[in-house]
Amino acid sequence: MTLHRHWGHDSLLSALARARLKESLPAALLIHGGKGVGKQHLALWLGRLLLCDSPGSTGPCDECGSCALALKLIHPDLHWYFPLPRPKEASTPQKLAEALESARVEMLEEIRRNPFRPVQVGEARSLYLAAARHLRRQTQRRPSRGDKQVFIIADAESLAPQESSSEAANALLKVLEEPPPGTSLILTSSEPGRLLPTIRSRTAQLHLPPLSLAEVTEFLIRIAGIEKEQAGRVAAASQGSIGRALGFLPDNGGPGPFTQTRTAALGLLWAALAPEPLPSFEAAAGFKATGARGLLELLNFLEECLRDLAVTASGGEGTAWSPEEAKTVEAILVRKAIHPTSVAAALRSVAEARKMAAGNVNPQLLVFGLLHDLRRGLLSP
């Protein structure tokens, strides 16, 4: 497998390529934007650009030895770190560090085999202190091929909540403040507000906007090889995010991971709106007693469902309801007399639940408390 070219954002790529020719790219950069809009792919493109033997005004040459290695994700000076589940049976810091590095290597191999793999949701992942220390040690080594090395830290907000501390983030502050000569650090984040202020202040920030519907559709057809009708359907739910569109694609003959998560979010909403509180008890009991961070994606989709509910309640259009869901929603709105302002209060409850999930509270208590608040807020006279 080789990486495909970065899709969209052409004017931004040209500006970055010109800055590379002038040697004016910042040593520490934070790329932020919505989930799946291409932040990590842009970071990898920038890594190729920085390591390229013959960069041009439009980007890396993609023909030199450095580009060939980087395109295959095997360049020794291109280091990519991303959140991982906590390894089991890692009883000591040394064993944890070894297990995390082994898991990172395995994930890179999986990405090489299947670059369009469905997005994984529902599992708590973090950038652990051991991984941050490994990265910091790597920055002190000399580059293998030339005079530059690039470190990509994906979903950097995962540094902050590590084991209810900021140790993982603090481990990188010195490197961000004074990167070794020839070292570039590229962080990506969908939630830059969760990063430590000291990290944000030490990085130049670059916002990556969502793609157009046409750009997402064309990518799915031309690059991912998706049939036209299906590509149009998942692109409509993408919100300008290729990663999100891929998450709605069927997986091994069944629904995609985002389809499953959205269905689960709707189940929570229907439980909160049920005539009796029993469905809320049953929904909460269906979760494990640990692993609240794995609920974050579910809460994001619940927030989207509530926003669609507010749009429908106010007579607007452009929601993601299926025809069957739309009928259910309209019947509920008539029967329950839900007002758009009550949905705003419900959204605040979801935002508070997201904060608690990041703090790793008991998922059963979190879900029941949230459904209780939603029920009270949405159904109050």
- Average pLDDT over the chain, rounded to whole? 87
Instruction: Say whether 287 sits in a helix, a strand or coil.
Output: coil
User: How many angstroms from the chain centroid is the CA of residue 172?
Assistant: 21
Confidence (pLDDT) at 128: 82
Taking only the tens place, the pLDDT of each residue in 269-324 is 999 988 888 999 999 999 988 888 788 889 999 998 998 888 888 888 778 787 77
Helical pair 363-379 and 340-358, crossing angle rounded to 10 deg: 170
**Beta-carbon contacts of residue 5 (< 8 Å; ≥ 6 apart):** 45, 62
What is the C-alpha to C-alpha distance for residues 23 and 148, in angstroms, rounded to an integer? Answer: 12
- Between these two residues, 333 and 184, which has the higher pLDDT value? 184
Taking only the tens place, the pLDDT of each residue in 218-252 is 999 998 889 999 999 899 888 899 989 998 988 87
What is the C-alpha to C-alpha distance for residues 84 and 194, in angstroms, rounded to an integer? Answer: 18
AA letter at 148 = K
> Residue 122 pLDDT more than 70?
no
> Residue 120 pLDDT more than 80?
no
Instruction: Say whether 277 sits in a helix, a strand or coil.
Output: coil
Average pLDDT value for residue range 340-362: 87
Categorize the per-residue pLDDT at 2 as very low, low, confident or very high, splitting at 50, 70 and 90.
low
Confidence (pLDDT) at 166: 64
Categorize the per-residue pLDDT at 345 as very low, low, confident or very high, splitting at 50, 70 and 90.
confident
AA letter at 170 = N
Find residue 79's DSSP bridge partners: 151
- Give the pTM: 0.84
Going by CATH, does the domain composed of 10-207 fall within 3.40.50.300? yes
Confidence (pLDDT) at 164: 41
Average pLDDT value for residue range 339-352: 88
What is the C-alpha to C-alpha distance for residues 301 and 320, in angstroms, rounded to an integer? Answer: 11
List the structure tokens of 153.
């830290």
Going by CATH, does the domain composed of 255-379 fall within 1.20.1260? no
